[in-house]
A and B are shown apart, each in its own frame.
Chain A
Amino acid sequence: MPTIYIDNKPFDVKTGKNLLEACLSLGIDLPYFCWHPAMGSVGACRQCAIKVFKDEEDTRGRLVMSCMEGVKDGMRISVNDETAKAFRSQVIEWLMTNHPHDCPVCDEGGCCHLQDMTVMSGHNYRHYHFKKRTYPNQYLGPLINHEMNRCIQCYRCVRFYHDYAGGKDLNVFAAHNHVYFGREKDGVLESPFSGNLAEVCPTGVFTDKTLKEHYTRKWDLTNAPSVCQHCSLGCNTIAGERYGQLRNIVNRYNHEVNGYFLCDKGRFGYEFVNSENRITQPLIRNQPIEATEHDTVLQYMRALVTGHNLIGIGSPRASLESNYALLELVGKENFYQGVPDDLVYVEQKIVDILQSGTVHTPSLKEIEQADAVLVLGEDIWNTAPIMALAVRQSVMKTAATHTTEQLPIPTWHDAAIKELVQEDKGFLANITMLPSPLDEISSSSMKAAPDDMARLGFAIAHILNPSLPEVRNAGEELLSYAATISKALQAAKHPVIITGTSCWNNALIRAAFDIAAALDMNEKKAGLAFVMQDCNSMGLAMTRASSFDRAVAAIQRTTNVTAIILENDLYRSIPAAKADTFFNKCKHIVVLDTLHNRTTEKAHVLIPAATFAEADGTFVNNEARAQRSSQVFMPANSEIRESFKWLADIKSLVTTASNGHGKHMDDLLHALEARLPQFAGVSRVAPPHDFRIHGARIPRESHRYSGRTAMLANLTVSEPKPLQDDDSSLSYTMEGYRGLPPSPLIPFFWAPGWNSGQSVTKYQEEAGGALKGGDPGIRLFEQTTAPPVFSKDIPDAFTPRAGKWMLLPQYHIFGSGELSVYTKGIASLSAEPYVSLSRRDAEQSQLKNGDTVAVKTDGKTYTLPLSINESLPDGIILVPAGLTGMEALSWGAWVNLSTVIV
């Protein structure tokens, strides 16, 4: 470990770091703009200047940019050197020559890196007396606001959007002091990662347009650590509330999971919490006044749950606690996943693989560090966007490693690496049904039907381990792909295989496992990552409860059924006919949910559930990492409560035994661990509710939170007692412990002098490293040395059938989400319903683009406009999944396609 002398004091620093990283990691405040821990150094802003001295005798030294110089043992530097300080202050003054003095009306004010760095550099008096430069702003779509006059030309936006995330429509234009960052012309930003611009921009050029609709300063928000609800990756977020309204979502750094970035669906898809479509009161239907309140509905429920056969339908988007509370209420044998059989079948295979522990499941960070990636059958761009971003980094970093192995260029030197790397890429085989933006960086990107993708997987596994069965009747093309891919995977040190459930194909999962296990047999550290569909799909699947189809079968044998449906619009996941069959057999239907939907319409009793923002809850992500999402605010409307609390109350109607339904959520989690041992550890995901530091809770509000005594003055002039949180050690106050909280309880990032999100460095072991005390989340499955069980069963090649098409879903990052489309901006970007056929199929049916096509399935006919897809394999019909107004279809079924309605 090299020792460097900073202002004559020795410090041990890590090899391979630059001086800026070293200083920041040591806790030294050194201002910077263009450097970003995830994007490295380019030396543009010149803000991080320090002095470097040749030796102890050297008193003059040399001004250098700390981000562009690596640490060397024995090196002597000065941060406090007067010239260095003057220069840093001067850099700010230069930036300020054109920066508007509009902080009071700027959305970034109060969480602005430029403000922080200005104060840090000491610049305060303006010497520039001339006019400021001005720019026109652009319309960049419904999610991001553009205010170019504030730009300080740090180039971070293009480096993120263009270089890091692969977006093409944002760039830098013009030159000298007219450099412009934007699009070639006004228009919606195309990248689904555009929201990160608001965080990488050190000032208010790119800001969150959804926040602008209900703007609140960062310091006035009540915040809590949260977990994204919009896909299975479980990206960590910080959600902020004021006046009972969720105001924004920002990234919560987790080194192992999402790092610094979120996708736009995760960042902006929060507005459902504030929706007018929320269920705000318990309803008992079929009576003159349906709306009721807590005690009445419980009284009513007593009759429904006693003397009735209970069936509980769980939810892949409800927390583990709520699913477990339902399981406890109805009994384990009467608890079903609200998920169709075909999907449960695929998910169980995944859980089996994870539980066996034979192969390693990588975190997103590990995927970033993979040196060869095979995506087998999962459209991760749409179903797990941040994983797609991680795969992109793997491809880029592998190419960078090729060069840094040959030349002594440090890994942080982004500019030099880019010049050397040029168009070189690490290995990525993106095997999907349809083209994806990832194909641009893929070495190999075969497009095929799910069974054929699985066959490719088995062919790869066979090459890697010839004792595995051979794929019969494999074509030359498939074998040549298999040869290329297996060669690349074999050559890699850390290959990763990614697959998922969105093709509803079990063979894909088995094939992916066989590849990873075969690689491991050759002493590889292969990783096998799965993508699931919802934020707690893994948690629900791990209960190993039966599918919804089993519930339908069971209800046929039973009478007098009270069905309790937990946070699940069955019409989105189950074909309507099947859902109807179920509901028709129920005597009573009780639904707990947050928003009105087709399922809640069926409810005889409708109970208002809390959203993630109003609830504590544990969610298990795609790598079986259990993560805690904390309550951001207690709804003023006391009828809105966590489902598990409602269910506990209902449970208490029928039993006096506590069954873990104590006062605190911890009690429930302990009971869960005892009842379902596969969840051992979930009670330790976050500190218990009685955790205190120096006797204090961790405040959800900043010490600058304003209006506490005035906010409710219209109702009562005396300041009300702060709300009491019985489930976590976070408090609803400004007061409390102000040091670093345990990582699962970080409500927001702030440090003295660091008001922007850049303050995260102060929470990290080292700049860009793990959070102090370890990253939050507990992985529920251990890796074991159990021998792999390979597949024997390889599907036949996919063959189109005459007059029939296999119906498969197409996911869209914007539109397929049930909740995210409540955000107006996301709704406006959502795909319109359509149906896709291959060109050959369309031509054979004499169809052309835009023709209205009737798809017959599940006894119903859906008419949709045709969109011919040039890459789609023949014999498949694709329909977008989950768009508003589209119900669930029997994915994987063979359907008829008929008449063209002109």
Chain B
Amino acid sequence: MERPLTRNIHPDRPPLNLKEYEMTGGYAAVRKVCGGGMSPAALQKLVQDSNLKGRGGAGFNTGIKWSLIPMGDQAPHPKYLIANADEMEPGTFKDRVLLEGNPHQLIEGMILAAYAIQAEVAYVFLRWAYHKAADLIRKSIQEAYDAGYLGKDILGSGFHLDMHLHTGVGRYMCGEETALLNALEGKRATPRAKPPFPQISGLFGKPTIVNNVETLCCVPHIVNNGADWFKGLSYSEDGGTKLYGVSGKVKRPGAWELPMGVTMRELIEEHAGGMKNGVQLKGVLPGGASTDFLTTQHLDIKMDYKSVAAAGSRLGTGTMIVMDSETCPVGFVHNLQHFFAQESCGWCTPCREGLPWVEKILLSLEKGDGTPEDLELLNMHTQFLGPGNTFCALAPGAMEPLQSALKYFRDDFEKHIEHKKCPYD
């Protein structure tokens, strides 16, 4: 089983420096592309053919996303390529593995992506708390400049690229690509209306691609090994491997690079070692805090975009949170809503005012102050905070665990009201 993304990542060793990275075949893809081996259009096509889908959660074909960028002499400049490393989804820690484990792999992927869209400037937008990653990326960018992989006329190709590290200040909202762009411009991290999409009007109003760290890390391997090889890594129609993660009361929480489309059962039972003794699995948020609960009946679904969607949730980031039988679903969801209410940017009314209300209702349920009307109010919020009603996807994402909890664990909610206390206390 191939693990291209994490092959050179070892928890007990520091990450590869530039020399070591090159010895493992690093920057070969940049050499190939910049050495005249591939035109930007060909690179876009290759990635499109590989069926690489965005690993940030939306699951959009990366090559197609790139193809929406204006190309040629008439295109506005500068164009920007941004690595979204603002990994703040609760339960998600897969990009951290790549950032801390092999920073040059990300930089190489970014150079390739920038080349594909002919961007002149690249940014790594990094979560504020990833201090170790910040040091590593800063150092690695410098190494790449020194080696001629960044800067003017890279490897004599005539292609220029400058790369900068930007560390955020700790807003979940910045993970949303347009809010990220505003933050990068020095403005409030509020999302932007789409259309126009960032490919047309992105950073500083110029064409911009924002890709997730894991997505970008796949690109060098696709260039080196081809689209078919990449597709062949997967158990499903989405290309490549995937960094999956499991957290919760499992025996061995962690993150693993596995073929796209392993089953949830395999992940939990084999890689995470199954549930801890004395607790049973009750529900799973398959792709982070903003995805719908799945339950034991879904254990055999494939963890790919289509299959998880068919089961009523989203693959999201592919890092699941497991809820066990001893944890109160109401308290669990309250914790999540507290997070989302706090991270709302305050731009649109439903999210700004609705989420704190939801949070307060859930807390009152937990305290035993709930009424049957509260369930109606929660239900109303799950409907009215849906996609399209709010300005961005934050509130709809927040409603996913709530609506599915109300669906699968409704009796837990009702017991809170009936017994005027949390039955798990």
Contact = CB atoms under 8 A, between A and B. Distances in A.
Contact of A94 (B196, B204, B345, B353): B353
A45 B389 CA distance: 10
Which of A94, A155, A179: most chain B CB closer than 10 A? A94
Nearest to B371: A129
A176 interface: yes
Interface in A408-455: 409, 413, 415-416, 419-422
Contacts of A39: none
Interface string B144-188: 000000000000000000000000000101000000000000001
Nearest to A179: B346
A538 interface: no
A902 interface: no
Given A87-B389, A176-B341, A419 B201 contact: yes
Interface string B368-394: 000001000100100010001111000
A63 B385 CA distance: 11
Contacts of A45: 348-349
A827 interface: no
B353 to A, nearest CB: 4
A178 interface: yes
A612 B195 CA distance: 50
B391 A177 contact: no
A864 interface: no
A893 B371 CA distance: 83
A146 interface: no
B350 A419 contact: no
Contacts of A47: 349
Nearest to B361: A130
A634 B27 CA distance: 86
Contacts of B343: 176
Contact of A68 (B193, B344, B345, B352): B193
B193 A46 contact: no
Contacts of B360: 130
Which of A46, A47, A128, A415: most chain B CB closer than 10 A? A46
B252 interface: no
Contacts of A172: 188
A759 B8 CA distance: 67
Nearest to B201: A420
Contact of A176 (B188, B193, B352, B389): B352
Contacts of B342: 176
Contacts of A98: 353
Given A94-B357, A177-B356, A419 B346 contact: no
Contact of B192 (A63, A94, A130, A419): A419
Interface in A317-355: none
Contacts of A459: none
Contacts of A153: 346, 349, 352
A422 B202 CA distance: 11
A419 B391 CA distance: 16
A415 B349 contact: no
A127 interface: yes
Given A62-B388, A64-B388, A419 B205 contact: yes
A94 B193 contact: no
A105 interface: no
A778 interface: no
A175 B345 contact: yes
A431 B343 CA distance: 47
A854 interface: no
B384 A415 contact: no
Contacts of B171: 175
Contact of A46 (B192, B204, B380, B391): B391
A422 B355 CA distance: 32
A416 B349 contact: no
A91 interface: yes
Contacts, number: 104
Contact of A416 (B195, B341, B347): B195
Interface in B72-124: none
B349 A44 contact: yes
A346 B384 CA distance: 64
B274 interface: no
Nearest to A133: B356
Contacts of A46: 348-350, 389-391
Given A46-B391, A419-B205, A87 B377 contact: no
A91 B344 contact: no
A407 interface: yes
A473 to B, nearest CB: 43
Interface residues of B, number: 37
Interface string B290-313: 000000000000000000000000
B184 to A, nearest CB: 12
Contacts of B356: 176-177
Contacts of A62: 388
Nearest to B346: A179
Given A127-B377, A416-B196, A49 B349 contact: no
B136 interface: no
A636 interface: no
Nearest to A130: B360
A421 B205 CA distance: 7
A1 interface: no
Contact of B193 (A43, A95, A179): A43
A422 B343 CA distance: 26
B200 interface: yes
Given A42-B193, A176-B343, A413-B193, A94 B388 contact: no
B354 interface: yes
Interface string A240-273: 0000000000000000000000000000000000
A62 B390 CA distance: 13
A420 B204 CA distance: 7
B411 to A, nearest CB: 24
Given A63-B388, A413-B193, A420-B196, A177 B349 contact: no
A97 B357 contact: yes
A214 B367 CA distance: 49
Contact of A175 (B193, B195, B344): B344
A44 B204 CA distance: 21
Which of A46, A152, A176, A416: most chain B CB closer than 10 A? A176
Interface in A741-778: none
A407 B352 contact: no
Contacts of A155: 347
Interface in B8-59: none
A717 interface: no
A723 interface: no
Contact of A90 (B193, B195, B205, B380): B380
A757 B341 CA distance: 34
Given A90-B384, A419-B196, A407 B201 contact: yes
A174 interface: yes
A49 B200 CA distance: 27
Nearest to A424: B205
A175 B349 contact: no
Given A44-B349, A46-B391, A94-B350, A128 B357 contact: yes
Nearest to B363: A130
Contacts of B347: 44, 155
A130 B195 contact: no
A755 B341 CA distance: 34
Contact of B196 (A152, A175, A409): A409
Given A44-B348, A46-B348, A87-B384, A416 B201 contact: yes
17 contacts: A43-B348, A43-B391, A46-B348, A64-B388, A95-B353, A98-B353, A175-B173, A175-B344, A175-B345, A175-B346, A176-B345, A407-B196, A407-B200, A419-B196, A419-B205, A422-B204, A422-B205
Given A155-B347, A175-B171, A177-B346, 10 more contacts: A44-B349, A46-B349, A68-B193, A87-B384, A90-B350, A94-B357, A153-B349, A177-B356, A413-B193, A415-B192
Q: Which 10 pairs, one residue from A and one from B, show the smallest C-beta to C-beta distance?
A: A94-B353, A179-B346, A176-B344, A420-B205, A422-B205, A130-B360, A420-B201, A415-B193, A175-B346, A177-B356
